[in-house]
């Protein structure tokens, strides 16, 4: 069996949005066409998705909310918010998205595979306990984290969210929980308006929310440098049993909803950086779930770059990519968050050193 699992299913195309809506079925059609071209069935382990149960949805969502989404089943259309809509098949598709990700987590937890990518829709990281938001119905990654803890016996989960938009739903669901470390790098100010560096968690969860809000214009080197500098010490101290990634591709320069400059090379470098963390902290246990990414012409290429890294068919060098970052941008991104997080993490009491092509940055 191949080391990398993949969740893909034509039923994920059944969630239909309005004409012109960014979160269209064409996103997955482009990715699935790429998978056929790269002969994914031979190089990756296919994971058959299943429907999530109501009990599983209730791991993070309220009964009233689950009932509200279930009530849209069979309705031609329903508007949950101004940008979050459903069709007759959306509820079933959303349950399949959750179930597909849970199956991937279960296979990684049992070490049948090392890592996995759930290429599912609708996305999830904006969904709150009792509210749909930002194209999201159920919070796929948050549900996967709770499933891993409550059903698979894992104790600590690290969630990395690199989508261009802040994962407000995931943060709010775990901001009081010290067993889930939520780490987000995102464009700010930008939708949904949350994720400032001073948002660090509440009560017993204080310090277990790490936000890196950055202005538009950051690219491959900056993203990889930021992750390479801050994630390893935090992960080493936190000691996660599993790493989950909310993997959006809307930081690509072609994306209509973002303002970043991350190319396929940057996505590969970020993936390798997190893989190295997983190897050190949790025997490689890493599962990614698709979030945003709305440039249909490039999403397949970016996804392929991530899959090739996960399967060790390519091996990016994060140090080389990070070395090409613009130091001032990296310093701006890190200095505020590190200053705040040093109150909570012993591993940050010593200065961070970041190597660039011609200088070393000390934070």
pLDDT in tens, 6-49: 999 999 999 999 999 999 999 999 999 999 999 999 999 999 99
In-domain check, residue 203: no
Q: Are strands 180-187 and 209-214 parallel, antiparallel or unpaired?
A: parallel
| pLDDT tens for each residue of 63-96 | 999 999 999 999 999 999 999 999 999 999 999 9
Q: Stretch 102-131: mean pLDDT, rounded?
A: 98
Q: For the chain, how many structural domains are there in total? A: 1
Is 186 assigned a catalytic role? no
- Tell me phi and psi for residue 33, to 5 degrees: -65, -40
Catalogue the E-assigned strands of the chain. 4-7, 45-46, 77-79, 85-87, 115-118, 157-161, 180-187, 209-214, 242-247, 286-290, 353-355, 360-362
In-domain check, residue 90: yes
pLDDT at 197: 98
In-domain check, residue 202: no
Give the number of other CB atoms < 10 A from CB of residue 129: 14
- Tell me phi and psi for residue 57, to 5 degrees: -60, -30
CA distance 115 to 113: 6
With vertex at residue 218, the alpha carbon angle to CA 24 and CA 191, rounded to the nearest 5 degrees, is 45
pLDDT at 2: 85
Q: Stretch 284-292: mean pLDDT, rounded?
A: 98
pLDDT at 1: 65
Handedness of CA 101, 106, 107, 108 (dihedral sign): positive
Q: Stretch 244-254: mean pLDDT, rounded?
A: 98
Domain extent for 244: 4-188+237-317
Q: Stretch 191-215: mean pLDDT, rounded?
A: 98
Three-state SS at 180: strand
In-domain check, residue 289: yes
Residue pair 287/118 in contact (Cβ under 8 Å)? The answer is: yes
Q: Stretch 150-158: mean pLDDT, rounded?
A: 98
CATH of the domain at 26: 3.40.800.20
Query: Is residue 195 predicted with pLDDT exceeding 90?
Result: yes
pLDDT at 356: 81
Closest CA to 252 of 239, 265, 240, 234: 265
Give the number of other CB atoms < 10 A from CB of residue 357: 11
In-domain check, residue 346: no
pLDDT at 358: 77
pLDDT classification of 111: cutoffs 50, 70, 90: very high
Torsional class of 299: left (φ above 0), alpha (ψ -120 to 50), beta (otherwise): alpha
CA distance 102 to 350: 38
CA distance 33 to 162: 24
Query: Is residue 354 predicted with pLDDT exceeding 90?
Result: no
Residue pair 133/22 in contact (Cβ under 8 Å)? The answer is: no
Q: Stretch 235-246: mean pLDDT, rounded?
A: 98
Query: Is residue 192 predicted with pLDDT exceeding 90?
Result: yes
CA distance 245 to 353: 25
Query: Is residue 357 predicted with pLDDT exceeding 80?
Result: no
In-domain check, residue 212: no
pLDDT above 70 coverage of the chain, percent: 100
CA distance 209 to 180: 8
pLDDT at 325: 95
pLDDT classification of 151: cutoffs 50, 70, 90: very high
Computed on alpha carbons and rounded to an integer, the radius of gyration of the chain in Å comes to 19
pLDDT classification of 348: cutoffs 50, 70, 90: very high
Query: Is residue 142 predicted with pLDDT exceeding 90?
Result: yes
Closest CA to 115 of 283, 304, 265, 322: 283
Handedness of CA 330, 335, 340, 342 (dihedral sign): positive
Mean pLDDT, all residues of the chain: 97
Residue linked to tokens 């993203």: 223
In-domain check, residue 269: yes
Closest CA to 137 of 163, 169, 160: 169
Q: Which of 15, 126, 172, 186 is catalytic?
A: 126
CA distance 181 to 240: 8
Residue pair 89/122 in contact (Cβ under 8 Å)? The answer is: no
CA distance 347 to 237: 7
Closest CA to 6 of 149, 137, 114, 147: 114
| pLDDT tens for each residue of 260-275 | 999 999 999 999 999 9
Token pair of 197 as six digits: 């560096």
pLDDT above 90 coverage of the chain, percent: 96
């Amino acid at each position: 069996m191949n080391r990398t699992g993949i969740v893909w299913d034509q039923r994920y195309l059944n969630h239909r949005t309005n004409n012109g809506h960014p979160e269209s079925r064409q996103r997955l059609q482009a990715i699935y066409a790429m998978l056929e071209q790269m002969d994914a069935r031979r190089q990756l382990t296919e994971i058959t998705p299943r429907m999530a149960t109501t009990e599983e949805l209730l791991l993070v969502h309220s009964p009233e909310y689950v009932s509200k989404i279930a009530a849209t089943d069979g309705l031609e259309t329903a508007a949950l918010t101004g940008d979050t809509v459903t069709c007759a098949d959306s509820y079933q598709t959303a349950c399949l998205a959750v179930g597909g990700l849970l199956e991937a987590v279960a296979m990684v937890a049992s070490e049948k595979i090392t890592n996995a990518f759930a290429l599912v829709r609708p996305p999830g990281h904006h969904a709150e306990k009792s509210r749909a938001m930002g194209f999201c119905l159920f919070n796929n990654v948050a549900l996967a984290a709770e499933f891993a803890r409550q059903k698979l016996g894992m104790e600590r989960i690290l969630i990395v969210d690199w989508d261009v938009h802040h994962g407000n739903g995931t943060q709010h669901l775990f901001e009081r929980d010290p067993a889930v470390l939520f780490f987000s790098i995102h464009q700010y100010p930008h939708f949904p308006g949350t994720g400032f560096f001073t948002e660090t968690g509440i009560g017993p969860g204080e310090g277990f929310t790490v936000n890196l809000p950055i202005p538009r214009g950051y690219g491959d080197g900056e993203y990889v440098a930021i992750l390479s500098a801050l994630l390893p010490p935090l992960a080493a101290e936190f000691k996660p049993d599993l790493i989950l990634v909310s993997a959006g591709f809307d930081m690509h320069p072609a994306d209509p909803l973002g303002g970043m400059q991350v190319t396929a090379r940057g996505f590969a470098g970020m993936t390798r950086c997190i893989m190295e963390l997983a190897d050190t902290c949790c025997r490689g246990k890493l599962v990614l779930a698709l979030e945003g990414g709305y440039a249909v012409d490039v999403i397949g290429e970016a996804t392929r770059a991530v899959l090739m890294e996960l399967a060790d068919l390519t091996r990016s060098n994060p140090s080389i990519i990070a070395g090409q970052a613009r130091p001032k941008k990296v310093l701006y991104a890190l200095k505020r968050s590190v200053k705040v997080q040093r109150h909570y993490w012993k591993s940050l009491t010593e200065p961070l050193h970041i190597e660039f092509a011609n200088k070393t940055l000390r934070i």
